[in-house]
Each structure stands twice: as structure tokens, then as C-alpha cells.
Amino acid sequence: MATIGFVPHLQRPEAIELAVSTASWLDASGHKVRLLATTTSQWDCSQEELSHGLDLAVSLGGDGTMLRTVDLVLSTGVPVLGVDVGHLGYLTEVGPNELRQALTRFLAGDYRIEERMTLQVDVTRVSGPALGSGQPPGPSPLDKINALNDAVLQRSPGGHTVHLAVTVNGDRFLTYAADSMIVATPTGSTAYNLSARGPIVSPRARVLVMTPVAAHMLFDRALILSPDEDLRLQVIDGPLAELVVDGQSQGSLGTGDVIRCTAGPHDARLVSFGGRDFHHILKQKFGLSDR
């Protein structure tokens, strides 16, 4: 018997309803079920309880819910199945009507795992306390944040461009003045990076993609780096920069603060049944057709 956890989108009643009905179906078959505490069902659990001894995490929503689910189970290596409750996403694998069939195939071992490179963001603060620590200003320990899509240093709301000194493997590369700087994984290349006209990268690749947004300088091209290269962005001589990781604000960084971006220690493990090839998804999203 398997232990399966559900993480539904909190603002989509249909996602919660699907989670509860599928949990009931699995429970009746003798499987153990956990449902992230969004309902008053008998299977509710906390975030801390979700991943312990879990065989599969099921995300019900869109790509944002997938990012949240991956983050919850990343360090444990639990595979994640994405159910698209909403619009077509790059990360979700099946539709709501296909969920029971997908779970039946998973329980029978008829699936494959896609390993997706993640991003580790190490934050060193010299201008103030650790992010969210509530401590008084002064040098602070390192904050470590994991991401599946990207880390973005962007100008604060109503602020001016951010000034960032970029170093690669300890060597100064360039100083950028831009609205923001994106550091994306291959998976994240189709997120904010895509809207900034950065390169589209196969999710099977293992690279870091650094893309400036609205750079106030002649050189505004994306830079593709090996995942084992040491990429650092330091805030210099200017206004605060807001750090956003996988769409979630992590607070502001000031002059002298640094983020270090490297490949994460854990890959995201996504369940796939081979029916939604990345290139086919691209064609669907852009309405592309061969002539």
C-alpha cells in the first residue's frame, strides 16, 4: 500500500474537491492519504507532516502550486505529479479527469521520473539582518533558499534601477544597471525569463541562465553558465533590491548584500507518463503549427 499526499490550490474549490474525492477513492482501496490542511477532512495534515514516509505528492492547480509542492518535498526526494486545474501549464502532467488513471499507473509502476535541476540561492547580508529574522541590523549568517524556476533581484516598487556587480568563479564580469536580473534554471527558462526574451532551454539540460531585464547599458544579452560555476550578484551604490524566488518575495537587499546562485543539492523529481513532450507543450502554448 502507498502513502499519497495532496496539495491543492487554496483558492480553487474544484482543486480541493478533486483532492478530497480522490483521497476517498484511495482510502477505500487501502492506501494511506494525506491532504495539506486546507479542508476539514479526516486526511488533513500540516506541512511538517506531509512528506514523512510519502510515496507521491500530488499537486492540484497550476504551475504555482507545482512550485509550492516541489518545495515542500524537495529535500526528501518524493516524486511530484502535477494535475492541471486551470490553464495549461509547463509543469503539470495530467488533467483532472485523468487523475485516477494516472494514480493507477503510478501504483502499478507504469511511469517515469524526470529529474529537474534546481537552484540554490545563498544570501549574505551585510546591510541588515537575515531575511525574515527580525534581528537588528548588522552582518548576518547565510540564508539558503531553493528554487525550481528562478531567483530575481528586482527594483523595489516605485524604485529606480538596481545596480548589480556580477562575478563568475570569483572574477568580476560586469556591473549591470537594470530593472531586474533573472537567474533561471532550464525549467524556469519558460517563466519570467521567457517574457524577458531570454533563451528557451530544454528542461533536461543542466545550466544556469542569467538574463537582465530592461538593462540600461549596451550589453543586455542573456548569459548561459555551467551549473557548477559560482555566480554572484552584489547590490552596489544604489536603492534597495527586492529578492523574489519562485515568485515569492524574500525581502529587500541593500548595498553590499550578495546572492550566490548554484545548482541545488537536490533535483526535483517529476512524475511523467510520456504523453506531454516539452516541445509539444511549447507549440500548444504559442499556437505554433508546421507549414
In this prediction, residue 138 carries a pLDDT of: 42
Which residue in 27, 63, 171, 179 is the catalytic one? Answer: 63
Q: pLDDT at position 114, please?
A: 94
Same domain as 110, residue 124: no
Task: Check which CATH number belongs to the domain holding 280 and give it.
Answer: 3.40.50.10330
Asked, for residue 291, whether it belongs to a domain, the answer is no
Average pLDDT of the residues of the chain: 89
Q: Which residues contact 188 (CB under 8 A, 6 or more apart)?
A: 119, 147, 148, 149, 150, 209
Does one domain contain both 78 and 143?
no
Same domain? For 11 and 108 the reply is yes
- 133 in the same domain as 147: yes
63 is catalytic: yes
**Domain for residue 107, yes or no?**
yes
Q: State the pTM of this model.
A: 0.89
Contact 234, 173 (CB under 8 A): no
- pLDDT tens per residue across all 291 residues of the chain: 899 999 999 888 899 999 999 999 999 999 999 999 766 678 998 888 898 899 999 999 999 999 999 999 999 999 999 999 976 677 888 999 999 999 999 999 999 999 999 999 999 988 765 555 554 444 344 588 999 999 999 998 777 899 999 999 999 999 999 999 999 999 999 999 999 999 999 999 999 999 999 998 888 899 999 999 999 999 998 778 999 999 999 999 999 999 999 999 999 999 998 766 777 777 777 777 776
Domain that holds residue 47: 3-117+268-286
Total domains present in the chain:
2
